Every structure is written in C-alpha cells, then in structure tokens.
Chains A and B, each alone.
Chain A
Amino acid sequence: MPDVTKTDYIKLFAHRFAILLYLIFSLFPLYWLLKIAVTPDKLLYSEGVKMWPSKLTWVNFELVFTQSEFPTFFINSAIVSSATALLTTLIAAAAGYAFCRFKFRGKLIISALLLITQMFPLVMVLAPIYKIMAPLGLTNSLLGLVIIYTAFNVPFAVFLMQSFFEGIPRDLEESAMVEGCSRFTALRKVIIPLTLPGMAATLGFVFTAAWSEMLFALMLISDSSVSTFPVGLLNFVSKFAVQWGQMMAAGVLALIPACIFFVFIQRYLVQGLTAGAVKG
C-alpha cells in the first residue's frame, strides 16, 4: 500500500523537522557564543549581525588563559560542582532508599517539608542565609558554597532517587536476602548496580545546576581567588566596556566540562530511562 508509506514518510519528515527546528532554536545562543568568541574585537561591531565573521581569531582564548583569572575560577567551579554533585547524590541516594523501602514515623512530614523547601523563591532566603553563614566563616569559602548548593539540591535529588529505587522490584532484594544477603549486602550487590543510571542522572543534574549557579556565588563570595566561574564572567564587564570577545571565549570554555560530563553519563541516562520498563 503505497499511500500508507507515503503518509509515514510525511510523518517522519514532520517529526524530524520539528526536532530540527527545536534544536536550532535552543542551540542558536550557543552558536552565537562561539561566533563572538572567535570574532576579532575590531570586527565585533562592524560585522555584528553577520552569521560568521570574515576573519577568525584565537586571541580571545589566549587572553582568557593568560591575562584573566579565569583558570582559577574554572578550578573553583570544578571543585564546588563536583563536590556538590557527589555529596548531594550520596545523601539523596541514602534518603531516597529510606523513603522508598522503609516505614518510619514522620515520613510524610519529612517529604512534605522537602517539598516546601522547593517552593520559596531563592531571593527570599538570601539574606537569612548570609546572616547564618557569615558568623560561621563560611562566606568567601568554597566549602560554604558546597554546603548551600547541597542543601538546595538535596530535596529534588531525593525525589529523583526515590523514583529510581521505586523502579526496582522489591522481589529482587528480597530474593537476595533469602539467598543469604543482609539488607546492606543486598543493597550493595543488587540494588546499587541497578540504580547506577539513576545516580548518574542525579550527579549530572546537580553538577550542571551547581556549575551555573550565580546568585549565591555572587552574594557569598567577594574575593576573586575563591570566585566561581559564573561570577568570574562578570569581571569581563568593566566600568567602561564589556569585553565581549573574552567573555564569550570564557563561556565557551565553561561549556566544555558540562559537555564532557554529559557524554560520559549519557549512556546511563538512556539506560536509566528504559531500565524501569523491563521488570525482573
């Protein structure tokens, strides 16, 4: 039946076309970032709206590496983000498991509280948090940032992990327990290997959230030696001019870790989405 295949082709085409449109829409800013990063400063204003500059330059990248504090920011960000991601995932995995498998008093209240924390706009809590952190000496410190980021990411991560644990049939760990495992061994040998995709997803999610966070970083950090990268970007905005080229070059560089991270966890993410579907 040729008619059917024809409509099938049209459907396929429409589908792909829609995806393409979406991709162009969402990736265009990134493209612009890259374009400006490689455009020589002189041409920036004369060829501002061209899709591609007539001349390319790497000088912005060079300047970022040699003249700015960008490498420090970069390292700070990497430390803060990975520490936050690790800590959050650990806490969330433990809490998610408990929520999913155990009955305990106050379970409902605790999950309600976790939800409530997600409802406040951050701006509301900025000042109190500063008030708490300052006497503890946690302003101007990476540790302070890690603590705050972890605190703010844990609730959502807990729900995420809980749903991953719930995707694993109880029979599996019960079977392991009958076969001679303690609850902990069953967790280690059966449940954790099966939740790795979920943990990777959580890790990735928290990492990117921490990597691009700016509000708290801006408020808690004033010393540039402990600045993270989003705050560092503002250094390119001086009183007299914005160093667009360098700023964009730094932005491009900042994308790299996130990209690497996602390439790395991507296969777990795909697995994670399908793992729950195949039971037993």
Chain B
Amino acid sequence: MASITLNNLSKHFDKTQVLKNINIEMLEGEFVVLVGPSGCGKSTLLRSIAGLEQISGGDIFIGETKVNELAPKDRDISMVFQSYALYPHMSVERNMGFSLEVQKVPKAQIKKIVSEVAESLGLSQLLDRKPKALSGGQRQRVAMGRAIVRHPKAFLFDEPLSNLDAQLRVQMRLEIKALHQRLKSTIVYVTHDQVEAMTLADRIVVLNAGVIQQVGPPLEIYDRPANLFVAGFMGSPSMNFINTQVIMDRGQLCLQTTSGDKLPLVHQYQNLQVGMHISCGIRPEHVSILDSGFGHLQGRVNALEPTGISEQIYCDYQGENLCIYSMQRSGCKENQAIALQLDVHKLHLFSEQTGLRLQQLPDAIAEYKVVSGE
C-alpha cells in the first residue's frame, strides 16, 4: 500500500489540454472516487497514474517515489479496465496468475494464490474456462481477481461496473467495498454513477474539463458543493437553480426571483451584498408541495415520475423546470397549479458572476426558526 500524490499534473494531446494543474494527495488506504462528465479526463488521469500516458507537466509520486519516468510495469499498480481486458487466449486461471507468471513466481505458488483469490471471489468452478465463456459479472470478477492476486501499491478502477446490469452493479459495489475493507488498499476509482461515488468513496474528486472542481468526503460534496458545476452534477435528481437577486425587504435580506417571489435568507453568507445576482440552488428533496396556501413559489405541473418508493414531480416556474422529490404520493395531475414550499435552511447560494458558492457563516446556524408560509 502506498499513497499517491499528484503535483500540478497536466496533460495535453497535441494542442488540446486534457488535464490542468491537478493537485491531489491520496492517502494510504484511501478510497478515492473520480467523477465528472464524459470526456472530462478521468480515464486520462487514471492512465497517467498507471504510466500508460506520458504526462506533459507536473509530478506523480507513488509512496515516496517519483514515478514520472517509470514504465508501467515498474510502478507496481493494478488496473481494472472498463473492458476488463481479459486475455482471450488464456484460461481464467492463467489470466488471474498472469502478473505472477511474468514475475517468474514458481508455478505451484501461483496456483495456490490464484485458487485462494478465486475462492474468495466465487470463481473456483470457472478456473479452466476461457473468458468468452463467462458472463459479464464473472468477467468483471476475474478482472478484479487478476488485480488482487499480487499485492500492488494501489488499485486503479476505470468504470469497472458500467457494463453490468443494475442488479449486478449493486452486488459488485458491495463486493468492492468489502474488498477495500479487507485489503485496506489505496484505490482510485472512476465512475459516473452517482450512487457508486457516494457509497464507495472516502473522498470524491469532482473533475470538469480537466480541472478539479472540488475534493472532499461524499456528504460534504453533497451538502456543500463548492460551485454551480458540482452542485448541478452531484445528486440525482439534480439540484434546482432559480435566478434571483438579493434585496432588502422590511429589514431582512431576501432573494427575489425574476417573477417577484421572495425567499427569506435565514442564514448569513460570506460576501453577500444587496443587489447581487444569485443562482439559488435547492435540492429536489427540500421542496415540498403545499395542500393549501401560497408557499414560496407557484408552479404548474409538467410531468410526474412515480417510482413506487418515491415520486418526482417536474413543474414549471418562470420558465424553468423545477424538480420536486417526495416520498409521499402527491396525487397531483399534469397541468395542475401547485404551491411550493422551500426549506429555506437548505438554500445553496452561488454567485451568478463567478459560479462560486457563498459560504454560510457559522454563527447564524444557531437559531432555527420556521419562517413564513405555514
């Protein structure tokens, strides 16, 4: 096990810059998940760590060693590819033992290690098969087994579950989590599945267009997204944004929407000034539908998505689509006018100019009181 440190890492292909000044310190034994939209450079970052891409600037350290110039084979890292990359001409057993075979470990010992790992992954029955005679989930497991037969300094996973169906994905997710707890290994894991990221990570790194947007524990990223991008990207259904302006209304700071509705600000925020244009974020689970009264905003139902356990209601508010996530069945109909209540303690304020979050000041959190509406 070892830590991985990236110092000012950058990478460009010809003229296109794919990674810009990446700085992360991944601790020994930490499970770091990289998320970001397609094409943002996640795979490139992973491949740079593995040594499969030559970096254009900066340094990579694995443990204490600078590995910039080290060949992939000398970095002592295991990688699980999205395609699994199993060798089609080798049996499962040889696939799993390949790294040991290359290191010239005695045959008997390879056999022993492989059978232990196969046992732990439930692959013992399949050792003689060729990869093409395996199901997707089994292939995935072989790929994982192949990575863990030797004890590398770190594991790199590039969307290892994206080819599996939903159910299998849940199962493999749990297995990967268990694996991490058992091996206590450093893992860098790329995914664009929200749930995978939230459940597996010790820390999440959000990447967009080759730039790190935020690094932090999953709940911190969810609760305090650093900017508009992270706020919109993390969470499913994703956060609602309403264009507002800060006004002073009867001695209290409020956000006024373009159509004139007011949202009281119950907390104090850094750098907040009257007149500022604010993109006000509110998560769908913090919006509720009122049976009577006016609420904060009035919308019209566009679409309903009942999932059984919950319901997502999309409604139109000043031309924007607002999503409401509710564990109750609202009984709303399409085109019905509804009154919406926002949990004003859970507002996220982002400067429209910079896109950055306005940090909530701690002192204001002391007094919770229910404001207006009900």
Is A278 close to B, CB under 8 A? yes
Counting CB contacts under 8 A, is B233 at the interface?
A: no
The answer, among B50, B83, B86, B139, for a CB contact under 8 Å with A178, is B50
Contact among B71, B81, B139 for A175, CB-based, below 8 A: B81
* Contact yes or no, A178 B79, CB < 8 A: yes
- Whether A181 lies near B73 (C-beta < 8 A) is yes
Name which residue of chain B comes closest to A179, CB basis. B99
A190: min CB distance to chain B, Å:
6
User: Beyond A180-B73, A181-B102, A278-B132, is A175–B88 a contact (Cβ under 8 Å)?
Assistant: no
Interface size range on B against A: 20 to 34
Is the CB of A194 closer than 8 A to any CB of chain B?
yes
CA distance A96 to B75 in the complex (A): 29
What mask results when residues 165 to 208 of chain A are scored 1 for a CB within 8 Å of chain B, else 0?
Answer: 00001011011111111100100011001100000000000000
Q: Kindly identify, within residues 128 to 181 of chain B, every residue whose CB is under 8 Å from any CB belonging to chain A.
A: 131-132, 139, 146
A105 within 8 A of B: no
B87 — which chain A residues lie within 8 A by C-beta? 172, 175-176, 190
Given contacts A172-B85, A280-B84, contact A178 B102 (CB under 8 A): no
| B73 A171 Cβ-Cβ under 8 A | no
Chain A CB within 8 A of B207 CB: no
* Interface presence of A131 (CB below 8 A): no
Q: Can you list, as one digit per residue, whether each of B71-83 has a CB less than 8 Å from chain A (1) or not (0)?
A: 1110101110101
User: In the complex, what's the smallest C-beta–C-beta distance from B49 to chain A, in angstroms?
Assistant: 10
Asked if B336 is at the interface (CB within 8 A of a chain A CB), the reply is: no
Q: Which of A169, A177, A182, A193 contacts B83 (CB 8 A)?
A: A169
B350 at the A/B interface (Cβ < 8 Å)?
Answer: no
**A42 CB–B CB distance under 8 Å:** no
Who on chain A is nearest to B53 by CB?
A174
Residue B52 interfacial (CB < 8 Å):
yes
Given contacts A278-B88, A279-B83, contact A180 B102 (CB under 8 A): yes
A179 and B146 form a contact (CB under 8 A): yes
Q: Is the CB of A174 within 8 A of B85?
A: yes
Per-residue contact bits, chain B 52-92, to A (CB 8 Å; 1 contact, 0 not): 10000000000000000001110101110101111111000
**Cβ of A166 to closest chain B Cβ, rounded Å:** 15
| A171-B81, A171-B85, A280-B88 as given contacts; A176 in contact with B98, CB under 8 Å | yes
Q: How far is the CA of A280 from the CA of B86 in the complex (A)?
A: 6
In Å, the complex CA distance between A174 and B53 comes to: 10
The residue that A177 contacts in the complex, of B52, B86, B89, B103, with Cβ under 8 A, is: B52
Which residues of chain A come closer than 8 Å to B50, judged between CB atoms? 174, 178
B42 shortest CB reach to chain A, Å:
16
Contacts of A194 in B (CB 8 A): 88-89
Cα distance A194–B86 in the bound complex, in angstroms: 12
Query: Once bound together, how far apart are the Cα atoms of A78 and B64, in whole Å?
Result: 61
Q: Which residues of B contact A175 (CB under 8 A)?
A: 79, 81, 85, 87
> Closest CB of chain B to A164's CB: distance in Å?
14
User: In the complex the two chains form, what is the Cα distance from A192 to B89 in whole Å?
Assistant: 11
Nearest A-chain residue to B131, judged by Cβ: A280
Distance between Cα atoms of A189 and B102 in the complex (Å): 9
Q: In the assembly, what is the distance between CA of A178 and CA of B81, in Å?
A: 11
**What residues of A have a CB within 8 angstroms of the CB of B89 in the complex?**
193-194
| Cα-based distance from A152 to B39 in the complex (angstroms) | 44
Chain B residues, Cβ within 8 Å of A169: 83, 85
Query: Which of A174, A179, A278 contacts B98 (CB under 8 A)?
Result: A179
Task: Give chain B residues whose Cβ lies under 8 Å from the Cβ of A181.
Answer: 73, 102
- Of A182, A278, A279, A280, the residue contacting B71 (CB under 8 A) is A182
Distance of A182 Cα from B51 Cα, bound (Å): 12
Report the Cα distance A275→B89, complex, angstroms. Answer: 10
Most chain A C-beta atoms within 10 Å of own C-beta, residue among B71, B77, B132: B71
Q: Of A180, A190, A279, which is within 8 A of B99 by CB? A: A180
Tell me the minimal C-beta distance from B118 to chain A in angstroms. 17
Q: Is the CB of B103 within 8 A of A280?
A: no
Instruction: Name the residue of chain B whose CB is nearest to the CB of A193.
Output: B89
Distance (Å) between the CB of A8 and the closest chain B CB?
29
State whether B88 touches A178 (Cβ < 8 A). Answer: no
Task: Determine the chain A residues whose CB is within 8 A of the CB of B88 once the complex forms.
Answer: 194, 275, 278, 280
Question: Among B73, B77, B78, B83, which residue has its beta carbon within 8 angstroms of that of A280?
Answer: B83
Q: Which of chain B's residues 14-59 have a Cβ closer than 8 Å to chain A?
A: 47, 50-52
Map CB proximity to B onto A27-39 as digits: 1 under 8 Å, 0 otherwise: 0000000000000
Rounded to whole angstroms, the CA-CA distance of A12 and B85 in the bound complex is 39
Q: How far is the CA of A194 from the CA of B87 in the complex (A)?
A: 9
CB-defined A-B contacts under 8 Å, sample of 15: A174-B52, A174-B72, A174-B81, A177-B51, A178-B51, A178-B52, A178-B72, A178-B79, A179-B99, A180-B73, A194-B88, A280-B83, A280-B85, A280-B86, A280-B139
Known pairs A172-B87, A178-B52, A179-B78 / 17 extra A-B pairs, C-beta < 8 Å: A171-B81, A171-B83, A174-B50, A174-B85, A176-B102, A177-B52, A177-B71, A178-B50, A178-B51, A178-B77, A180-B73, A180-B102, A193-B89, A280-B86, A280-B88, A280-B131, A280-B139
For the complex of A and B, 7 pairs with smallest distance between CB atoms: A171-B85, A175-B85, A179-B99, A180-B102, A177-B72, A280-B83, A178-B79
